[in-house]
Structure 1
Amino acid sequence: MKNNKNYKNSEELGKSPPKYLIVIGYLLAVVATLIWAGNFIVARAFNQDILPVGLAFWRWTIAVITLTPFAIKTTVADWKMVQKHLPYLAVSGFLGVTAFNTLIYIAGHTTQATNLSLIAACSPIFIVLMSRIFYREIISLTRFAGIAITVSGVILLLAGGSLEKLLHISFAIGDIYMLLAAIIFAGYTMLVKHKPSTMHITTFSLCTFSLGLLFLVPLYALECWIYHPVVFNPAIVRALLYVGVLSSVVAYLAWNQAIALIGPSRTALIYYMIPVFSGLGARLILNEPIALVHLFSTLLILAGIIITNRQ
């Protein structure tokens, strides 16, 4: 408790938090992106087996059920605060839970995976720009250079080292959905920074998950009426457990706590590791080969992150 109090006081005085908390913040951001990389693989693998709103609905249903036993005590203790900040929690839940993830799943049905990854890489840029606009965070020449190097690594990775492949990427309506999702995720990350300092992170997560799920109910009902509800089988259940427990509860808690410790713009840069982790996952799970361009792209991304996040 003493360390937490000192950390809070140092924030109020405009000082940097202790180094061990900064390290923990980066580690939590890495954990979140590693899990989310697996989420993209799951979404691609079950593209034809489950409709997008159904996937989002059952994902967050499982997340709420999983988180409730661990968060109910803090939520009851924070209830007056929840009532006071209900509009803020509702907007956060709609953006971070209802809109962002559902748009990704919809986009996955109408565009190529390469396009999804390329556009998703824009999200950290939006976060850095929003941090500049709303928090007046300075974008120094060093930080700008680091971002440029990181983006170059992502583009090189997605293009497979081929300029011709990059120039001949075709865009569909799903790309617009994904671009909107990237902007929404940046806005959600900004909102997390405004979380009341005395509200527990588990309270914030349970409230936003529950409200986001509530907004999904009519959308899922409409999807079931027009098409069909989710047809469960062992493979789909395992996929839903992954996205519901790991990609939702564990990853979001880690991401939100990382934002609280190191800020939105630094946390955002770790998001660029998703294509790297996705490539490794595809190699291990789908037995896809790793070429020299993948290793070089990874080095560029890591170098850019290190340069951008230098103190």
Structure 2
Amino acid sequence: MAFFIFSTTAIAQETGQRDNRTMLAKVQSLDLESVREGVVVHYKPGYKERAEKLGPLLNDAIQFFKKELGITQQFHLALVDSLDWIQISSSPYGLPHVSGMNDEDPPVAVLPVSGEGTVYDFMVSLDNNFSKNLRQRIQNTGYSWEEISGTMVDLVSLHELGHVYKNAYGIGEPALWFNEFMANYFSYLYMFQQRPELAEIWDITGHAIQEGFEPQYHTLEDFEKRYVKVGVGNYAWYQSAFEMKANPLVEKYGLSFVKRMKEVFPNGVGKIASEKVLEELETNYPGFQEWAQVFKRQ
């Protein structure tokens, strides 16, 4: 599971037969080059510069979590174009996702070969709906909104890595939304402590979605039932809402929140009703119930 998921092949879509190969095996069957930057980046020929940009970023995050959590984690990144995308994934082109969570099925994050696709297009479309304060924050970065939107697609790779470390560290999944919330927490934890300029861009994009998009679905029950089927924009809205809570918690509690979540929701905890999850979070970190009102609007 990830920021945008589903990882079946086009063949499976057409024939109804599931492709049981690991995502790594699917990626390795494509005509891609690769470079090892700590992580292994598989990329379409002609995009080595992008591979050499994202590889070290992910490797730096891996080294950060190795130091802080004592976990050594392998990770692959695949940068593919639209034609290769449909050979390994059933999700629309440009919806980043991760598959694989163990040594037998190594985690592989799949991203568009360049800052393009459905997520990028959605982000760019929000440009006319920002407050004066948000526009000032965007201007202060020195980048255009289009450049920030492209960077945001790149940074989703850290969210995917967050899923991997959440599982590897032993935090369970009492609810789908909690799983996504924690992936955001892990990714922002790294950015805030090691790459504050990227943390600012990530936070800006979250606020931009909250300001610029009106969701059709907004309850946690909708998210649990429909998940990514709420649609690209609506799913991004949920993710940005999770970020609005995760980011300030990172800034206040850092790694201690992660350690507490392992105690509260350990691996194997099983599914728990959203209200019960919120009650447990509220007990440990007051403010969750107030935050959750955004999902109860009329």
Question: TM-score, normalization: structure 2?
Answer: 0.32
Structure having the higher helix fraction is 1
Question: TM-score, normalization: structure 1?
Answer: 0.31
Q: Higher RCO, 1 or 2 (CA under 8 Å, sep at least 6)?
A: 1
Structure having the higher strand fraction is 2
